[in-house]
């Protein structure tokens, strides 16, 4: 049911008129639209409990969205052409109406082809991976320190339904679950592919476990090594700049926490083959990765989205089915999986709150309003996807045959 509180303004350009006409297709929840001239319009069921507000400051935002879907909306939001009091609610409404708002979410064919080509031109070769990782993780340790928890963990925490838990405690719970699932004991040797700022390595080493962590981010390595030195863990932790494809040796276990998303689909076989090769016979690996629903995978693969364009260049999410199938082909038998997507939504809310609270300090570091709005979009975009079940985060336990 659509209830319009006012008709489309006669001053609206053709693109805006088409944009407004497409909003008539909202079937779940309601959207209040406030136009540049102050006209208020409501689409969908005005009495529905779920709803959102979109304020247009510039009619040109409509054409951007029609042309490039979610990427166009992100660009318009970053430029201040549109605004909303609750960005996550707006994005959740969009996902709930995905089937009927196809044109607004995915944009036109020409823009999709252009952005897809741009994504293909950033493959995760050895040099490409360095560039792609640098674009996100090396923007400044001072920036990340402002809103990450004290363990510098940049992956989903594990709340297990207890959302009163401090973020740091939930991150430690996640690390401990990995250790317990792999049944790691003091003295065992673990390879961590993508060690980040050293959170897992520190947690494991304090329990007597030996960790060899690798990263291709110099900024992350600097902090991780500093933390290891501060705790005098050099006898148990070795950290280095190294591409996972260049590793050798055998380990009792392999851990990889949200690095798989940066591998790229064409390199999945090489990644799993490397994990299998580095494990002792019968050894186990625990890989934590974000996944996308299999029903969405084909379209996701054939296009590209805001996250791939502006946040994680070269990134690619697997579905659960494709992850386990490819692992099996490379000699890694899936044993169990643990999904906790709603915990990621909560983690993202905590990060967003931390970023907003530190906005003054972030600005003093040289980051402008455009940067801040892109990151607000990033957090809200992912939070909505986890809350709506479009994406999930899963810990996969794999065993070398």
Closest of 400, 256, 370 to residue 318, by C-alpha = 256
> Cα(114)–Cα(11) distance, rounded to whole angstroms?
31
DSSP letter string over 118-153? HHHTS--SHHHHHHHHHHHHTS-HHHHHTTS-TT--
Report whether 251 contacts 189 (CB < 8 A). Answer: yes
> Cα(253)–Cα(256) distance, rounded to whole angstroms?
10
Unique residue bearing structure tokens 């276990």: 253
Closest of 4, 15, 10, 24 to residue 61, by C-alpha = 15
Strand locations in 61-116 (E) = 82-83
Burial of 367 (0-12, 13-18, 19+ CB in 10 A): middle
Measure the CA angle with vertex 73, ends 354 and 390; round to 5°: 70
Q: What is the arrangement of strands in the sheet containing 51-56, beginning at the earlier edge strand? A: 40-44, 30-34, 51-56, 82-83
> Cα(337)–Cα(354) distance, rounded to whole angstroms?
30
Closest of 215, 202, 283, 213 to residue 275, by C-alpha = 283
For residue 336, the cross-strand partners are 397
- Name the catalytic one among 195, 330, 355, 382: 382
> Cα(155)–Cα(61) distance, rounded to whole angstroms?
33
CB atoms inside a 10 Å sphere around CB 227: 19
355 is catalytic: no
For the annotated catalytic residues, the residue numbers are 382
């Amino acid at each position: 049911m659509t209830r319009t509180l006012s008709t489309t303004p006669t001053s609206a350009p053709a693109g805006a008129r088409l944009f407004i006409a497409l909003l008539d297709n909202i079937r779940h929840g309601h959207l209040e639209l406030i136009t540049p001239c102050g006209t208020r319009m409501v689409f969908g069921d005005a009495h529905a409990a779920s709803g959102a507000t979109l304020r247009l400051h510039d009619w040109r935002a409509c054409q951007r969205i029609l042309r490039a879907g979610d990427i166009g909306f992100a660009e318009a939001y970053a430029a201040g052409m549109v605004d909303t009091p609750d960005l996550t609610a707006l994005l959740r409404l969009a996902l709930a109406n995905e089937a009927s708002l196809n044109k607004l979410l995915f944009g036109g064919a020409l823009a999709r082809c252009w952005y897809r080509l741009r994504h293909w031109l950033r493959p995760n070769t050895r040099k490409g991976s360095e560039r792609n990782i640098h674009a996100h993780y090396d923007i400044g340790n001072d920036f990340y320190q402002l809103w990450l928890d004290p363990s510098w963990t940049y992956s989903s925490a594990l709340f297990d339904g207890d959302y009163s838990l401090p973020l740091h405690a939930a991150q430690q719970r996640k690390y401990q679950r990995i250790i317990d699932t792999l049944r790691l004991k003091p003295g065992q040797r673990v390879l961590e592919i993508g060690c980040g700022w050293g959170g897992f390595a520190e947690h494991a080493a304090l329990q007597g476990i030996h960790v060899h962590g690798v990263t291709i981010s110099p900024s992350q390595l600097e902090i991780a090594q500093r933390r290891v030195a501060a705790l005098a863990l050099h006898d148990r932790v070795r950290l280095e700049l190294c591409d996972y494809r260049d590793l050798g040796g055998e380990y009792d276990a392999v851990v990889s926490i949200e690095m798989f998303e940066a591998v790229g689909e064409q390199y999945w076989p090489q990644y799993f083959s490397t994990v299998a090769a580095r494990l002792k016979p019968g050894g186990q690996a625990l890989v934590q990765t974000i996944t996308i629903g299999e029903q969405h995978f084909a379209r996701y693969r054939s296009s590209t989205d805001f996250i791939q364009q502006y946040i994680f260049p070269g990134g690619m999410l697997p579905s659960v089915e494709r992850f386990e199938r490819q692992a099996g082909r490379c000699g890694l038998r899936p044993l169990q999986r643990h999904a906790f997507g709603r915990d990621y939504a909560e983690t993202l809310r905590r990060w967003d709150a931390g970023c907003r609270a530190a906005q003054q300090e972030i600005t003093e570091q040289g980051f402008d309003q455009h940067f801040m709005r892109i990151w607000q979009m990033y957090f809200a975009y992912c939070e909505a996807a986890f809350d709506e079940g479009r994406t999930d985060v899963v810990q996969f336990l794999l065993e070398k045959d």
